[in-house]
Amino acid sequence: MIVTIDGPSGTGKSTVAKGVAKRLNFAFFDTGAMYRAFAWLVLREGVDSSDQTKVEALLPAFQFEIRDPKGCERRYFVQGRDVSREIRSQMISHISSQIAVYPAVRQVMVGIQRKFGADTDAVFEGRDMGTVVFTHAEVKIFLTATAAVRAARRYRELQHKFPDLSMNQADILKDIEERDKTDSMRKESPLRQAEDAILIDTSSLSVEEVIEKIIQLMPQQSFPKMRTIYRLVYLLARLYFRCFFRLRIYGLNHFRPGAAVIAANHCSFLDPPVLSISCPEEVHFLAKKSLFDVPFLGFLIRILNSHPVKRGAADSQLVHGILDLLAQDKKVILFPEGARSKNGELGPFERGLSFLVQKARCRVQPAYIHGTFDAWPRTQKMPKFKGRIAVVFGAPIEWEEETDQPGQIVLRTEAAIRALKAWFLAGARGSPP
Ligand code: DC
Protein backbone atom coordinates (compact mmCIF):
# COMPACT_ATOMS: atom_id res chain seq x y z
CA MET A 1 0.00 0.00 0.00
CA ILE A 2 1.24 3.49 -0.85
CA VAL A 3 0.43 6.64 1.12
CA THR A 4 1.45 9.94 -0.49
CA ILE A 5 2.00 13.14 1.45
CA ASP A 6 2.61 16.24 -0.65
CA GLY A 7 2.86 19.91 0.17
CA PRO A 8 5.26 22.83 0.36
CA SER A 9 8.21 22.83 2.74
CA GLY A 10 7.63 23.76 6.35
CA THR A 11 4.23 22.05 6.60
CA GLY A 12 5.77 19.36 8.80
CA LYS A 13 5.63 16.89 5.91
CA SER A 14 8.79 14.96 6.77
CA THR A 15 8.07 14.59 10.47
CA VAL A 16 4.45 13.67 9.80
CA ALA A 17 5.32 11.20 7.05
CA LYS A 18 7.96 9.57 9.27
CA GLY A 19 5.46 9.30 12.13
CA VAL A 20 2.75 7.83 9.90
CA ALA A 21 5.23 5.30 8.47
CA LYS A 22 6.28 4.31 11.99
CA ARG A 23 2.72 3.86 13.17
CA LEU A 24 1.87 1.72 10.14
CA ASN A 25 5.23 0.00 10.07
CA PHE A 26 5.67 1.16 6.47
CA ALA A 27 8.90 2.25 4.81
CA PHE A 28 9.31 6.02 4.48
CA PHE A 29 10.74 7.96 1.54
CA ASP A 30 11.57 11.65 1.62
CA THR A 31 11.73 12.39 -2.11
CA GLY A 32 12.99 15.94 -1.53
CA ALA A 33 16.16 14.26 -0.24
CA MET A 34 16.61 12.67 -3.68
CA TYR A 35 16.49 16.07 -5.45
CA ARG A 36 18.76 17.45 -2.75
CA ALA A 37 21.18 14.55 -3.25
CA PHE A 38 21.39 15.27 -6.96
CA ALA A 39 21.80 18.99 -6.21
CA TRP A 40 24.75 18.00 -4.00
CA LEU A 41 26.37 16.26 -6.98
CA VAL A 42 25.74 19.31 -9.19
CA LEU A 43 27.45 21.49 -6.59
CA ARG A 44 30.35 19.10 -6.07
CA GLU A 45 31.01 18.85 -9.79
CA GLY A 46 31.04 22.65 -10.00
CA VAL A 47 28.24 22.66 -12.57
CA ASP A 48 26.22 25.86 -12.90
CA SER A 49 22.71 24.88 -11.74
CA SER A 50 21.09 27.25 -14.23
CA ASP A 51 22.77 25.42 -17.13
CA GLN A 52 20.11 22.80 -17.92
CA THR A 53 22.20 20.89 -20.49
CA LYS A 54 25.19 20.51 -18.17
CA VAL A 55 23.00 19.55 -15.19
CA GLU A 56 21.15 16.92 -17.21
CA ALA A 57 24.45 15.56 -18.52
CA LEU A 58 25.35 14.66 -14.93
CA LEU A 59 22.32 12.37 -14.51
CA PRO A 60 23.90 9.13 -15.83
CA ALA A 61 26.65 9.45 -13.22
CA PHE A 62 24.22 9.94 -10.29
CA GLN A 63 24.56 7.00 -7.89
CA PHE A 64 22.03 7.32 -5.11
CA GLU A 65 21.45 4.98 -2.18
CA ILE A 66 19.30 5.03 0.95
CA ARG A 67 20.39 2.87 3.84
CA ASP A 68 17.74 1.61 6.26
CA PRO A 69 14.52 3.12 4.78
CA LYS A 70 12.44 1.45 7.54
CA GLY A 71 14.61 2.36 10.50
CA CYS A 72 15.18 5.71 12.16
CA GLU A 73 18.87 6.02 11.17
CA ARG A 74 18.10 6.65 7.51
CA ARG A 75 21.24 7.79 5.64
CA TYR A 76 21.60 9.12 2.10
CA PHE A 77 24.60 8.28 -0.05
CA VAL A 78 25.72 9.84 -3.33
CA GLN A 79 28.59 8.14 -5.19
CA GLY A 80 29.12 6.07 -2.01
CA ARG A 81 29.50 9.13 0.25
CA ASP A 82 27.18 9.87 3.17
CA VAL A 83 25.62 13.26 2.35
CA SER A 84 22.73 13.11 4.86
CA ARG A 85 23.78 16.26 6.67
CA GLU A 86 25.20 18.29 3.79
CA ILE A 87 22.00 18.08 1.71
CA ARG A 88 20.09 20.04 4.36
CA SER A 89 22.01 23.29 3.84
CA GLN A 90 20.27 26.40 2.46
CA MET A 91 22.56 26.33 -0.59
CA ILE A 92 21.35 22.83 -1.47
CA SER A 93 17.70 23.86 -0.80
CA HIS A 94 18.12 26.57 -3.39
CA ILE A 95 19.89 24.41 -6.00
CA SER A 96 17.47 21.50 -5.57
CA SER A 97 14.50 23.76 -6.27
CA GLN A 98 16.28 25.04 -9.41
CA ILE A 99 17.24 21.66 -10.84
CA ALA A 100 13.83 20.13 -10.00
CA VAL A 101 12.31 22.06 -12.92
CA TYR A 102 14.36 20.18 -15.52
CA PRO A 103 12.25 17.43 -17.18
CA ALA A 104 15.13 14.92 -17.49
CA VAL A 105 15.95 15.34 -13.77
CA ARG A 106 12.32 14.71 -12.81
CA GLN A 107 12.14 11.69 -15.11
CA VAL A 108 15.13 10.07 -13.42
CA MET A 109 13.84 10.86 -9.90
CA VAL A 110 10.36 9.51 -10.71
CA GLY A 111 11.98 6.29 -11.97
CA ILE A 112 13.96 5.90 -8.74
CA GLN A 113 10.87 6.63 -6.62
CA ARG A 114 8.64 4.13 -8.45
CA LYS A 115 11.35 1.48 -8.09
CA PHE A 116 11.47 2.10 -4.34
CA GLY A 117 7.67 1.91 -4.19
CA ALA A 118 7.27 -1.39 -6.09
CA ASP A 119 5.74 -4.19 -3.97
CA THR A 120 6.11 -2.40 -0.69
CA ASP A 121 4.07 -0.65 1.94
CA ALA A 122 5.43 2.87 2.03
CA VAL A 123 4.77 6.50 2.78
CA PHE A 124 6.18 8.82 0.09
CA GLU A 125 6.60 12.47 0.92
CA GLY A 126 7.24 15.16 -1.71
CA ARG A 127 5.59 17.57 -4.15
CA ASP A 128 4.21 15.38 -6.94
CA MET A 129 3.72 12.01 -5.27
CA GLY A 130 -0.08 12.03 -5.56
CA THR A 131 -0.29 13.89 -8.89
CA VAL A 132 2.45 12.18 -10.93
CA VAL A 133 4.50 9.43 -9.28
CA PHE A 134 1.83 7.34 -7.53
CA THR A 135 -1.45 8.39 -9.12
CA HIS A 136 -3.07 5.17 -7.86
CA ALA A 137 -1.94 5.55 -4.23
CA GLU A 138 -4.54 4.29 -1.77
CA VAL A 139 -4.30 7.36 0.47
CA LYS A 140 -3.26 10.84 -0.71
CA ILE A 141 -2.68 13.73 1.63
CA PHE A 142 -1.86 17.36 0.84
CA LEU A 143 -0.50 19.41 3.73
CA THR A 144 -0.60 23.20 3.90
CA ALA A 145 0.21 25.91 6.45
CA THR A 146 0.56 29.66 6.20
CA ALA A 147 3.95 30.88 4.90
CA ALA A 148 4.64 32.62 8.25
CA VAL A 149 4.08 29.41 10.24
CA ARG A 150 6.23 27.46 7.82
CA ALA A 151 9.06 29.99 8.03
CA ALA A 152 8.97 29.86 11.84
CA ARG A 153 9.14 26.05 11.79
CA ARG A 154 11.97 25.95 9.27
CA TYR A 155 13.89 28.56 11.27
CA ARG A 156 13.65 26.42 14.44
CA GLU A 157 14.69 23.32 12.49
CA LEU A 158 17.70 25.03 10.89
CA GLN A 159 18.78 26.60 14.17
CA HIS A 160 18.74 23.17 15.71
CA LYS A 161 20.74 21.62 12.87
CA PHE A 162 23.13 24.53 12.31
CA PRO A 163 23.63 26.49 15.57
CA ASP A 164 25.81 29.05 13.74
CA LEU A 165 23.01 29.85 11.26
CA SER A 166 23.47 33.30 9.76
CA MET A 167 19.90 33.73 8.42
CA ASN A 168 17.02 35.19 10.36
CA GLN A 169 13.33 34.26 10.15
CA ALA A 170 12.55 37.01 7.62
CA ASP A 171 15.25 35.67 5.24
CA ILE A 172 13.74 32.23 5.56
CA LEU A 173 10.22 33.49 4.87
CA LYS A 174 11.51 35.19 1.71
CA ASP A 175 13.31 31.99 0.71
CA ILE A 176 10.16 29.90 1.31
CA GLU A 177 7.98 32.23 -0.73
CA GLU A 178 10.49 32.16 -3.55
CA ARG A 179 10.71 28.36 -3.50
CA ASP A 180 6.90 28.04 -3.32
CA LYS A 181 6.73 30.14 -6.45
CA THR A 182 9.34 28.09 -8.34
CA ASP A 183 7.79 24.79 -7.20
CA SER A 184 4.22 25.72 -8.07
CA MET A 185 4.81 27.74 -11.24
CA ARG A 186 7.13 25.30 -12.99
CA LYS A 187 5.79 23.59 -16.13
CA GLU A 188 6.93 20.08 -15.12
CA SER A 189 4.88 18.53 -12.27
CA PRO A 190 4.11 21.74 -10.42
CA LEU A 191 3.30 21.56 -6.73
CA ARG A 192 -0.47 21.16 -6.52
CA GLN A 193 -3.03 19.11 -4.66
CA ALA A 194 -4.22 15.97 -6.46
CA GLU A 195 -7.98 15.95 -7.03
CA ASP A 196 -8.41 12.92 -4.81
CA ALA A 197 -6.01 14.13 -2.09
CA ILE A 198 -7.25 15.14 1.34
CA LEU A 199 -6.21 18.63 2.42
CA ILE A 200 -4.95 19.12 5.97
CA ASP A 201 -3.99 22.61 7.17
CA THR A 202 -1.30 22.06 9.79
CA SER A 203 -0.95 25.74 10.87
CA SER A 204 -2.58 25.17 14.23
CA LEU A 205 -2.13 21.41 14.62
CA SER A 206 0.61 19.54 16.45
CA VAL A 207 2.57 16.86 14.61
CA GLU A 208 0.81 14.18 16.67
CA GLU A 209 -2.59 15.57 15.72
CA VAL A 210 -1.76 15.49 12.01
CA ILE A 211 -0.42 11.93 12.27
CA GLU A 212 -3.57 10.82 14.08
CA LYS A 213 -5.78 12.44 11.41
CA ILE A 214 -3.95 10.54 8.67
CA ILE A 215 -4.08 7.22 10.55
CA GLN A 216 -7.85 7.69 10.89
CA LEU A 217 -8.06 8.05 7.10
CA MET A 218 -6.39 4.69 6.43
CA PRO A 219 -8.82 2.19 4.88
CA GLN A 220 -9.79 -0.60 7.20
CA GLN A 221 -8.40 -3.87 5.91
CA SER A 222 -11.14 -6.20 4.78
CA PHE A 223 -10.90 -9.76 6.03
CA PRO A 224 -12.96 -12.76 4.91
CA LYS A 225 -16.33 -12.90 6.66
CA MET A 226 -16.60 -15.33 9.58
CA ARG A 227 -19.16 -18.14 9.48
CA THR A 228 -22.16 -17.35 11.72
CA ILE A 229 -21.43 -20.04 14.31
CA TYR A 230 -17.75 -19.10 14.45
CA ARG A 231 -18.64 -15.42 14.85
CA LEU A 232 -21.10 -16.19 17.63
CA VAL A 233 -18.61 -18.24 19.63
CA TYR A 234 -15.87 -15.72 18.80
CA LEU A 235 -17.91 -12.83 20.19
CA LEU A 236 -19.04 -14.73 23.30
CA ALA A 237 -15.49 -15.90 24.03
CA ARG A 238 -14.17 -12.37 23.55
CA LEU A 239 -16.77 -11.08 25.98
CA TYR A 240 -15.82 -13.77 28.48
CA PHE A 241 -12.07 -13.08 28.26
CA ARG A 242 -12.64 -9.33 28.34
CA CYS A 243 -14.81 -9.53 31.48
CA PHE A 244 -12.82 -12.08 33.45
CA PHE A 245 -9.31 -11.60 32.11
CA ARG A 246 -9.45 -7.97 30.92
CA LEU A 247 -8.20 -9.17 27.52
CA ARG A 248 -6.35 -6.42 25.62
CA ILE A 249 -5.29 -6.80 21.99
CA TYR A 250 -2.48 -4.70 20.48
CA GLY A 251 -0.97 -4.35 17.00
CA LEU A 252 -4.01 -5.28 14.88
CA ASN A 253 -2.67 -2.78 12.33
CA HIS A 254 -0.02 -5.42 11.59
CA PHE A 255 -2.61 -7.95 10.55
CA ARG A 256 -2.90 -8.50 6.78
CA PRO A 257 -5.41 -10.56 4.79
CA GLY A 258 -4.13 -13.77 3.17
CA ALA A 259 -2.18 -16.88 4.14
CA ALA A 260 0.09 -16.67 7.18
CA VAL A 261 1.48 -18.71 10.00
CA ILE A 262 0.62 -16.96 13.25
CA ALA A 263 3.54 -17.84 15.50
CA ALA A 264 3.31 -17.22 19.25
CA ASN A 265 4.86 -18.14 22.56
CA HIS A 266 3.10 -21.03 24.32
CA CYS A 267 2.62 -21.53 28.02
CA SER A 268 -0.99 -22.55 28.57
CA PHE A 269 -3.95 -24.50 27.17
CA LEU A 270 -5.67 -21.11 26.92
CA ASP A 271 -3.25 -19.86 24.25
CA PRO A 272 -5.00 -21.31 21.16
CA PRO A 273 -8.50 -20.00 21.96
CA VAL A 274 -7.23 -16.66 23.29
CA LEU A 275 -5.07 -16.08 20.21
CA SER A 276 -7.87 -17.16 17.84
CA ILE A 277 -10.40 -14.74 19.25
CA SER A 278 -7.85 -11.93 19.13
CA CYS A 279 -7.54 -12.24 15.33
CA PRO A 280 -9.88 -10.23 13.07
CA GLU A 281 -10.65 -13.26 10.86
CA GLU A 282 -11.15 -17.01 11.22
CA VAL A 283 -7.92 -18.87 11.96
CA HIS A 284 -7.01 -22.52 12.34
CA PHE A 285 -4.93 -24.33 14.91
CA LEU A 286 -3.82 -27.76 15.98
CA ALA A 287 -4.81 -29.12 19.36
CA LYS A 288 -4.04 -32.28 21.29
CA LYS A 289 -6.80 -34.80 20.80
CA SER A 290 -7.30 -35.08 24.57
CA LEU A 291 -8.25 -31.37 24.75
CA PHE A 292 -11.42 -32.07 22.82
CA ASP A 293 -12.69 -33.99 25.88
CA VAL A 294 -12.23 -31.08 28.32
CA PRO A 295 -15.66 -29.56 29.14
CA PHE A 296 -16.27 -26.10 27.61
CA LEU A 297 -12.73 -25.87 26.20
CA GLY A 298 -13.42 -28.87 23.95
CA PHE A 299 -16.62 -27.23 22.68
CA LEU A 300 -14.90 -23.89 22.21
CA ILE A 301 -11.94 -25.14 20.22
CA ARG A 302 -14.10 -27.43 18.08
CA ILE A 303 -15.98 -24.43 16.73
CA LEU A 304 -12.85 -22.28 16.51
CA ASN A 305 -11.35 -24.42 13.69
CA SER A 306 -9.08 -26.64 15.75
CA HIS A 307 -7.63 -29.74 14.15
CA PRO A 308 -6.95 -32.71 16.43
CA VAL A 309 -3.42 -34.04 16.63
CA LYS A 310 -2.95 -37.56 17.91
CA ARG A 311 0.14 -38.25 19.95
CA GLY A 312 2.68 -39.88 17.66
CA ALA A 313 0.71 -38.99 14.53
CA ALA A 314 2.74 -39.12 11.35
CA ASP A 315 4.38 -35.73 10.88
CA SER A 316 3.88 -35.73 7.12
CA GLN A 317 0.11 -35.91 7.58
CA LEU A 318 0.19 -32.88 9.84
CA VAL A 319 2.43 -30.93 7.54
CA HIS A 320 0.18 -31.64 4.57
CA GLY A 321 -2.86 -30.55 6.55
CA ILE A 322 -1.24 -27.22 7.43
CA LEU A 323 0.06 -26.66 3.91
CA ASP A 324 -3.43 -27.32 2.50
CA LEU A 325 -4.90 -24.66 4.76
CA LEU A 326 -2.20 -22.15 3.84
CA ALA A 327 -2.70 -22.91 0.15
CA GLN A 328 -6.35 -21.88 0.63
CA ASP A 329 -5.18 -18.48 1.96
CA LYS A 330 -6.08 -19.42 5.52
CA LYS A 331 -4.17 -18.55 8.67
CA VAL A 332 -2.74 -21.22 10.92
CA ILE A 333 -1.60 -20.74 14.51
CA LEU A 334 1.63 -22.52 15.41
CA PHE A 335 3.63 -22.53 18.60
CA PRO A 336 7.27 -22.86 17.52
CA GLU A 337 8.40 -23.91 21.00
CA GLY A 338 6.60 -27.20 20.32
CA ALA A 339 5.17 -27.60 23.83
CA ARG A 340 3.88 -25.44 26.65
CA SER A 341 6.59 -23.69 28.63
CA LYS A 342 7.05 -25.08 32.14
CA ASN A 343 7.76 -21.71 33.77
CA GLY A 344 6.01 -19.19 31.51
CA GLU A 345 9.31 -18.07 29.91
CA LEU A 346 10.00 -18.32 26.19
CA GLY A 347 11.82 -21.58 25.39
CA PRO A 348 13.97 -22.50 22.36
CA PHE A 349 12.18 -22.61 19.01
CA GLU A 350 11.96 -25.75 16.87
CA ARG A 351 12.96 -25.52 13.22
CA GLY A 352 9.72 -26.91 11.76
CA LEU A 353 8.34 -23.42 11.29
CA SER A 354 11.04 -22.61 8.77
CA PHE A 355 10.27 -25.71 6.74
CA LEU A 356 6.55 -24.89 6.63
CA VAL A 357 7.09 -21.28 5.64
CA GLN A 358 9.55 -22.24 2.92
CA LYS A 359 7.07 -24.76 1.52
CA ALA A 360 4.02 -22.52 1.77
CA ARG A 361 5.94 -19.35 0.79
CA CYS A 362 3.79 -17.42 3.20
CA ARG A 363 4.44 -14.73 5.79
CA VAL A 364 4.77 -15.21 9.53
CA GLN A 365 2.61 -13.09 11.78
CA PRO A 366 4.43 -13.00 15.15
CA ALA A 367 2.35 -12.67 18.32
CA TYR A 368 3.13 -12.49 22.01
CA ILE A 369 0.60 -13.83 24.53
CA HIS A 370 0.81 -12.46 28.03
CA GLY A 371 -0.92 -13.67 31.18
CA THR A 372 -2.23 -17.09 30.13
CA PHE A 373 0.48 -18.84 32.18
CA ASP A 374 -0.83 -17.22 35.35
CA ALA A 375 -4.39 -18.01 34.34
CA TRP A 376 -3.73 -21.69 33.63
CA PRO A 377 -0.18 -22.95 34.21
CA ARG A 378 0.91 -26.50 33.43
CA THR A 379 0.90 -27.42 37.07
CA GLN A 380 -2.84 -26.79 37.54
CA LYS A 381 -5.70 -29.03 36.52
CA MET A 382 -8.22 -26.22 36.05
CA PRO A 383 -7.84 -22.59 35.02
CA LYS A 384 -8.28 -19.63 37.33
CA PHE A 385 -11.29 -17.51 36.54
CA LYS A 386 -9.71 -14.11 36.89
CA GLY A 387 -6.55 -12.40 35.75
CA ARG A 388 -5.11 -10.25 33.04
CA ILE A 389 -4.39 -11.43 29.50
CA ALA A 390 -2.95 -9.52 26.54
CA VAL A 391 -2.17 -10.44 22.95
CA VAL A 392 0.32 -8.37 20.96
CA PHE A 393 0.70 -8.74 17.19
CA GLY A 394 3.96 -7.64 15.59
CA ALA A 395 4.96 -6.61 12.08
CA PRO A 396 4.60 -9.52 9.64
CA ILE A 397 7.77 -11.26 8.53
CA GLU A 398 7.54 -11.63 4.79
CA TRP A 399 8.86 -14.71 3.07
CA GLU A 400 11.54 -13.74 0.56
CA GLU A 401 12.85 -16.29 -1.85
CA GLU A 402 16.38 -14.99 -2.15
CA THR A 403 17.10 -14.13 1.43
CA ASP A 404 15.41 -16.82 3.51
CA GLN A 405 18.06 -19.32 4.39
CA PRO A 406 16.69 -22.38 6.19
CA GLY A 407 16.36 -21.54 9.86
CA GLN A 408 16.46 -17.80 9.26
CA ILE A 409 12.69 -17.43 9.64
CA VAL A 410 12.82 -19.18 13.02
CA LEU A 411 15.48 -16.78 14.29
CA ARG A 412 13.60 -13.75 13.01
CA THR A 413 10.33 -14.97 14.52
CA GLU A 414 11.94 -15.66 17.88
CA ALA A 415 13.55 -12.21 17.90
CA ALA A 416 10.21 -10.62 16.92
CA ILE A 417 8.30 -12.35 19.75
CA ARG A 418 10.98 -11.35 22.26
CA ALA A 419 10.75 -7.75 21.01
CA LEU A 420 6.95 -7.80 21.41
CA LYS A 421 7.32 -9.09 24.94
CA ALA A 422 9.84 -6.34 25.76
CA TRP A 423 7.52 -3.72 24.19
CA PHE A 424 4.59 -4.93 26.28
CA LEU A 425 6.56 -5.13 29.53
CA ALA A 426 7.96 -1.64 28.92
CA GLY A 427 4.44 -0.19 29.10
CA ALA A 428 2.90 -0.95 25.67
CA ARG A 429 3.29 2.59 24.34
CA GLY A 430 2.71 3.49 20.66
CA SER A 431 2.54 0.75 18.07
CA PRO A 432 4.17 -2.66 18.74
CA PRO A 433 7.34 -3.37 16.69
O1 DC B 1 11.01 18.79 0.44
P2 DC B 1 12.39 19.49 0.25
O3 DC B 1 12.38 20.90 0.67
O4 DC B 1 13.48 18.69 0.88
O5 DC B 1 12.66 19.45 -1.34
C6 DC B 1 13.75 20.06 -1.94
C7 DC B 1 13.35 20.53 -3.35
O8 DC B 1 13.14 19.41 -4.18
C9 DC B 1 12.10 21.37 -3.43
O10 DC B 1 12.36 22.73 -3.52
C11 DC B 1 11.41 20.92 -4.65
C12 DC B 1 12.04 19.65 -5.05
N13 DC B 1 11.13 18.49 -4.97
C14 DC B 1 10.35 18.25 -6.07
O15 DC B 1 10.37 19.01 -7.02
N16 DC B 1 9.58 17.12 -6.09
C17 DC B 1 9.53 16.30 -5.04
N18 DC B 1 8.76 15.22 -5.10
C19 DC B 1 10.30 16.58 -3.89
C20 DC B 1 11.08 17.71 -3.90
Tell me, in angstroms, the distance from the centre of ligand 1 to residue 97's CA: 6
Produce one character per residue of 162-182: b if its CB has 16 or more CB atoms within 10 Å, e if not.
Answer: eeeeeeeeeebbebbeebbee
Instruction: Tell me the pLDDT band of 402, cut-offs 50, 70 and 90.
Output: very low
Domain spans, the chain: 2-217, 228-425
Point out the least confidently predicted range of 273-287, 309-323, 419-433: 309-323
Tell me, in angstroms, the distance from the centre of ligand 1 to residue 36's CA: 7
d(CA 395, CA 387): 27
Instruction: Tell me the pLDDT band of 294, cut-offs 50, 70 and 90.
Output: confident
Question: Among the ranges 177-186, 304-313, 400-409, which has the highest mean pLDDT value?
Answer: 177-186
The pLDDT tens digits of the residues spanning 69-89 come to 555 568 999 999 999 999 998
Task: Domain 2-217: give its CATH code.
Answer: 3.40.50.300
* Atom 4 of ligand 1: nearest residue by CA position: 32
287: β partners: 308
* Atom 13 of ligand 1: nearest residue by CA position: 32
In this structure, the residues whose C-beta lies within 6 A of any atom of ligand 1 are 9, 31-32, 35-36, 96-97, 100, 126-128, 179, 183
Produce one character per residue of 213-235: b if its CB has 16 or more CB atoms within 10 Å, e if not.
Answer: bbeeeeeeeeeeeeeeebeebbe
Distance separating the N- and C-terminal Cα atoms of the chain: 19
What is the percentage of the chain residues whose pLDDT exceeds 70? 96
d(CA 258, CA 260): 6
Tell me: pLDDT of 314 over 80: no
d(CA 234, CA 358): 31
Spelled out in words, what is the top-level CATH class assigned to the domain 228-425? Answer: alpha beta
Tell me, in angstroms, the distance from the centre of ligand 1 to residue 254's CA: 31
92: β partners: none
From residue 233, give the alpha-carbon distance in Å to each of 226, 229, 240, 339.
11, 6, 10, 26
What is the rounded average pLDDT of the residues 89-109?
A: 94
The pLDDT tens digits of the residues spanning 225-274 come to 999 999 999 999 999 999 999 999 998 878 888 899 999 999 988 999 99
Cα dihedral value 177, 180, 181, 183, nearest 10: 160
What is the rounded average pLDDT of the residues 162-167?
A: 79
What is the percentage of the chain residues whose pLDDT exceeds 90? 54
Tell me, in angstroms, the distance from the centre of ligand 1 to residue 33's CA: 7
Task: Find out whether 217 and 140 touch, Cβ atoms under 8 Å.
Answer: no
Which is the closest atom of ligand 1 to the Cα of 182?
10
d(CA 338, CA 321): 17
* Atom 10 of ligand 1: nearest residue by CA position: 97
The pLDDT tens digits of the residues spanning 4-50 come to 999 988 888 999 999 898 777 788 999 999 999 999 999 999 999 99
Q: How many whole angstroms from its chain centre is CA 220?
A: 15
The pLDDT tens digits of the residues spanning 195-228 come to 999 999 999 999 989 998 998 898 877 788 999 9
Q: What is the mean pLDDT of the chain?
A: 89
d(CA 188, CA 98): 12
The pLDDT tens digits of the residues spanning 340-387 come to 888 888 888 888 888 888 888 888 999 999 999 888 877 777 778 778
pLDDT score recorded for residue 70 = 54
Query: Angle, nearest 10°, between helix axes 31-44 and 103-117?
Result: 130
* Atom 1 of ligand 1: nearest residue by CA position: 32
